[in-house]
Amino acid sequence: MLGNFFLRKRMNFLAYFGLLIIIAFVAGVITEYDPVKGFTSIPKAIVWGFTNFYPNVESFEKLPDILQKIRETLLVSVAATVTGGAFAFLFAIFGAHTTRFNVFLGVISRGIAIVFRNIDFSAWAMILLFSFGQNVMTGYFALFFGSFGFLTRAFMETIDEVSGGPVEALKATGAGYFSIVFKSVVPSTMPQMISWVLFAIETNIRQATLVGILTGTGIGFAFDLYYKSLNYHAASLVVVVIVIAILLIEWLSNYVRRVIL
């Protein structure tokens, strides 16, 4: 009996593993991807990077331009995340089990959040390109929708996790809905919510670069421009600036987190 049980487990594992290998092989054949060639091209790519893709003295002339672009990207990311967070807060209050005052409304807000969360930033950017064109608003809304969906989910879980007890207690005292939200849900969840917003800002800055390439705005546009005009030195400077900006933001948000938590 017991021997059979473990034998079956092992057979199952082998079957899944074999299936995985077959799928990978078939996919490779269909796409004509040669794994050997793929891996052997890595060293070549590294060599190319070291010989071409580094900032030189001339590229630093572009620095003021690049800095202005990254400022634009940073501001758009922060603005999109913060406004997305404000809307997410409302939807999370309506959707969280602890604080929803109507089951129907709760299901609706959860549904909306799920839709927004499962459409990726880049997909939003493409969709919005049609309505806004290559415009800074396109980038803003793409980031806004993405972070709205993500933060609604995060906020809902924070509310249900942290404020169940206090909400029950205040309900039992006869407190009204708004008193309960402002006196127990807000103070008990605020630090975690701020932490989520900071996290969303960090990811949004990374996404903004990509979205910028699509929408022709901000730092993504600068990179795209230099890269396509074969100015690899300036393009690499853009990458360096992005990395420094992201590190700075991460350091800053970790500092804020330490203070508030």
Give contact residues for another protein (rule: CB under 8 A).
Answer: 163, 165-166, 168-176, 178-184, 187-188, 190-191
Q: Indicate the helix (H) or strand (E) that contains 153.
A: helix 136-162
- What is residue 216's DSSP assignment? T
Q: Are 105 and 91 in contact (CB under 8 A)?
A: no
C-beta of 189 vs 236, nearer to another protein: 189
Least separation in angstroms between CB 82 and another protein = 22
The CA–CA distances, whole Å, from 238 to 57, 150, 215, 232 equal: 14, 28, 17, 10
- Spatial separation of the C-alpha atoms in residues 110 and 159, rounded to whole Å: 14
Q: Are 99 and 178 in contact (CB under 8 A)?
A: no
Least separation in angstroms between CB 130 and another protein = 42
C-beta of 162 vs 205, nearer to another protein: 162
Least separation in angstroms between CB 190 and another protein = 8
Which of these, 77, 78, 79, 105, lies nearest to 92 by C-alpha position? 105
Q: How many residues does the chain have?
A: 261
Task: Tell me how far the alpha carbon of residue 257 is from its chain's centroid.
Answer: 18
Least separation in angstroms between CB 103 and another protein = 12
Least separation in angstroms between CB 80 and another protein = 28
C-beta of 206 vs 257, nearer to another protein: 257
C-beta of 108 vs 190, nearer to another protein: 190
Least separation in angstroms between CB 77 and another protein = 28
C-beta of 184 vs 236, nearer to another protein: 184
C-beta of 167 vs 238, nearer to another protein: 167
The CA–CA distances, whole Å, from 220 to 54, 126, 139, 140, 217 equal: 18, 15, 10, 13, 6
